[in-house]
Every structure is written in structure tokens, then in C-alpha cells.
Amino acid sequence: FSAGDEPDGSGKFIANILQNPKIKESMKQFLDNDGLVLGICNGFQALIKSGLLPYGDVDSVNSNSPTLFRNNINRHISRVVSTKIVSNNSPWMSSFIVGETHNIPVSHGEGKFVVTKEFAEELFNNGQVITQYCDEDGNVTMDKEYNLNGSTYAIEGIVSKCGKILGKMGHSERYEDGLLKNIAGNKMQDLFSNGVNYFKK
């Protein structure tokens, strides 16, 4: 939470670091060598602000690029939300079935995914939108009771075209057996085993 998590704080800070020529080159080599990148919450902000998402490189951000903005209610949100898998076009998503839902903790003040209609269509057509906010019945929705931050097209997570870079707002890492016992539904979204298994093949 750099700079007290002021607007764009962590995203701006990490994106700035990624602009360092040595780090930028290292990141390119890492991806060229089949590396995987995952950014959750502030990490997602950094990937978006740097251009690694949705473009796959650091130098592509422009005025039409998607961004993450303040939640519609203009304050921090900390709750469990339902998300729906709409694409498994990524090593991180390899064990998931399109249509399945997960109940995931969120905790952020700037998690509203903002994108133009044209760019959203491109992301959907490329299979880059991986998860969307949904209701208890698995219906994708803009209803503020479920899409808490007001994300455009209810988008919760996206990947790069190659699928090796993934960013999402929901904290998949915050669940393990014995937690959230009073929350119904599927709470285990094990992206991490998928990442490990990708390299074990």
C-alpha cells in the first residue's frame, strides 16, 4: 500500500519500477522464457497501469487502455463476492470449467474495471476476460449488490493474449480449509496449483 494507497498508489509505483530499462528487459526475457505472471488486487492495478495487461508488454498503454478506478461508492469494500469463469484461456485457469462460480474475498478501494465498449468486445473475443461478477445463480450482473465496485461489463479478471499474465481483483490467496465457514459455495480457486502444474508438465 505505497503512499497510503492514495489514488493509483501501488499501481503507479510498481508500473514506474517496471519502466526501469533493466527491469523491463528482465520482464521481457522472463515472459519469452515461458514465465507466468500473476497480479491480485494491487498487483492487478500494477499490471494494468504498466501495460502488461492487457497487452503483454510495458510500453503499450494509451488513452484507450482499460484502467482500474475508484469503486462506485467511493470507499473501500471488503466482502465476499461471487465470480463466474467465462474463459480458461490461461495456464493459471487450466483446471477450471467455463461457467463454474467461486465465492472470493475482495478488499479494495479502487477495483472498478473501466473499459470502452470496443475494447471490451476485443477482450471478450480474444478470450482475455476470464472472470465476471455474478449473482447467486451464476448470472453475470451489473447489480451493485454483486458487482460491488461497478466494474464495466462486470469484469473481475483478465489475461494477456498469450494467457501467461493474469490479473484479478478477488483475493484467491485468502482462502484455505477452515476459513469462511459461514459462506456458502465454492471458495477454493486454486490458481496457484495450476501455475505449478504448468511447469510440471
- Provide the CATH number for the domain formed by 2-200 in this structure: 3.40.50.880
**Model pLDDT for residues 27-66, shown as the tens digit of each residue:** 999 999 999 999 999 899 989 989 999 999 887 888 899 9
Of residues 150 and 18, more confidently modeled: 150
| Residue 165 backbone class (left: φ over 0; alpha: ψ -120 to 50; beta: rest) | beta
Q: Which residue intervals of 19-116 are DSSP H helices?
A: 21-32, 42-50, 52-55
Q: Check whether 145 has a pLDDT greater than 80.
A: yes
Q: Is 108 a catalytic residue?
A: no
Report the predicted TM-score, pTM, of the whole model to 2 decimal places.
Answer: 0.93
Confidence at residue 4, expressed as pLDDT on a 0 to 100 scale: 57
Among the listed residues 41, 108, 110, 156, the single catalytic one is 41
Among the listed residues 76, 110, 171, 176, the single catalytic one is 171
Longest CA span, the chain: 48
Q: Check whether 6 has a pLDDT greater than 80.
A: no
Q: H or E segment at 197?
A: helix 191-200
